[in-house]
Structure 1
Amino acid sequence: MKIVAIGGGAAGFFGAIAAAEASPHAQVTLLEASPQVLAKVRISGGGRCNVTHACFDPTALVQYYPRGGKALRGSFARFQPHDTVAWFESRGVALKTEPDGRMFPTTDDSATIVDCLVHTAQRAGVQVATGAAATEVIPSASGFTVQLKGGKTIGCDRLFLATGSHPLGYRLAASLGHQLVPPVPSLFTFNISDPRLAALAGVSVPLVRVKLLVEGQKPLEQEGPLLITHWGASGPAVLKLSAWGARLLYDARYRAAIQVNWLPALKVEVLRGVLLRVKEEWARKAISKHCPVALPQRLWQRLVESVGIDPELRWADLSKKALNLLLLELTQGQFEIRGKGIFKDEFVTCGGIPLAEVNFKTMESRCCPGLYFAGEILDVDGVTGGFNFQNAWTTGWIAGQAMGG
């Protein structure tokens, strides 16, 4: 039996390895168009590779996928983060868990994961060809013929598409009878030009609640750390919100607003009480220079000044009206989004092959027998934190098991 995998990323390698290990006598060939395999793995997590997330309950795990969670529920019952950890550890790669649940190799080096996948593929007998760009797939009664750039062809009984969000994969899938959910960006930062954030790049707040406001749509909300950048806002809270609101923001041409509660751990009336108590106890202190809540001093000063409070005004002289304005700014400050940035180099999209066209028990196409999918080519995407890689490992493993079976 001959199996051809197109796409030398995480899902492609994992699927090719699983197929070769499930069927040692099969001839498995992996084609990668670029000169280097596993490019996203190399840059993930700032070069450390965020392999997966320490969420070992499939029911909880699917909640981290804005699209595809329902389809993945059964898949995670078969191969989930616990299995990912065991897979790598059985091949000599230990993983560690960080406080936020993200899991990395103990070496803090993505090369550890790359080398493991490459060496495991070699030991399993997978033939890896780089600079091998597929241009066309011709189906037949006995399988497929893959046309390569330069004129070479390769025949196979089973074809595995794991091309991520590359247009080539979508085009090949469409030529074999599949539809396409139009891909749009997910996991991106917000471009915000606002004097309240100007010159505060690098300031971070460990927990905020951010609400996305798109005209005519129900607000979306996320919590987590927020990082102020030169161009606006980033951090897990923003990235998660961009993932859940990916299509809304695309349709709105990235013109929307966010409402930020900088202190979500305090109810509004509790926060009011804190400010009133400070007004009495710190009566002679300047409001802008003495922050009574868990916010960076520079941000506190900017928010105080933004509601018209004089930097030298003392707490004792704070009027009821000014206190209410400050309270509103701390809990419901609104910022206009005027575009999107990207999340480092880890570009993620939502959209791809419609999930109804794939059998998630095998990852085989329902439109074209012998064709299998895994990873981001599917209309599946997760929030930041290792969830997109887990989708790649899970769907790749299931596809490989089925192809090799």
Structure 2
Amino acid sequence: MDPKSAISFDNTANAFAYKSDKDLKKAHFLFASMGFQSLVKLGTAVTPWAIRVGLPIKGLIRNTIFEQFVGGETLEETAKVAQKLGGFNVQVILDYGVEGGDYGEEGLDHACDEFIKVINYAASQPNIPFMSIKVTGIARFGLLEKLDAAAHARSGFQGTVHTEVLSPSELSEWERVVARMQKICSTAFEKKVGVLVDAEETWIQDPVDALTMQMMAQYNKDRAVVYNTIQLYRHDRLQFLKDSYNAAEQGGFLLGAKLVRGAYMEKERKRAEEMNYPSPIQPNKEASDRDYNLAVEFCINHIDRISTIVASHNEYSNLYATQLLEKQGLPLNHPHVHFSQLYGMSDNITFNLAKAGCPVSKYLPFGPIRDVIPYLMRRAQENSSVAGQTGRELGLIKKELRRRKG
């Protein structure tokens, strides 16, 4: 059976069943605004500054971009959104939206405690199989940068963190990072909740990868608990996926791989140009798409050893994953395959996959407005720069509004 006939991403009645007419009109206004690149440029430049200096714009943010892409400021607020999605067989990846800031040790400990709280909450809910963490929430950026530079002095696959470059005080700082990570992963293991470790900028990614692999070796013996995020808009990540698989095979554990295209493209290219090193980003979108689909294929071909999350807003990539499963005679709800899209985007993919019986979730961030600003600014930039994304969202919303009128 050709899944094209079974799964259609054009069914807007399924896609927006959970949204009222008022919600849909609000979303229409927001995506239409994001179509203006100059407006987005101005907004993303001014908003973080306005929040920092305390201008009274929180209400405006809360009622527009925050409401579209974030579950709420607290776990309690977010619970309502999670329950609503659950009514449509859509699961949730909970993401406490804290990332790379200079919070000091106390702040890093606090973030760790919040992550634990999220795990405990997820374990109590029927439709929250995963939560997401950022290592920059529990580790100082500069420390990761120093470890990454040490890793880059060596070539080849990095399975370990090279701590010999650290001073005694930095070494104990790193040990505290590892202890936080252990605490998070051991709680998740105990509570049967998956931990998705987010990708970071390339210049701090190596220690994040190595630490995540260490946790997998420890906790992924019988089932996938810990997942690394692999950004296929980097030209070296398909090979990294294969190297990670070989390491998992040798170590006798399951590889957890969340496949994304990537989120820091402008930033990465700019830094590479300024610091005069080759850009880590693929030469064009076609190369990203090719590697992404090859990565999906690799994971499904090695489904016994890899548990994969197809985290994509690309219709073809999602359809391709379902085709590969069907081709191999595997069920669409195979325990080692999960689909995911960001909350507030690509509802046509999420809700139609759910309708077809695929395990699919919304990546649902939550947290105080000032903490989720970096995340929101990335969403705004993404929707204004990804060719066709905003147009596609708008087209589907318009189609559904017309259908409801009719």
Q: TM-score, normalised by structure 2?
A: 0.29
Larger proportion of helix: 2
Larger radius of gyration: 1
Larger proportion of strand: 1
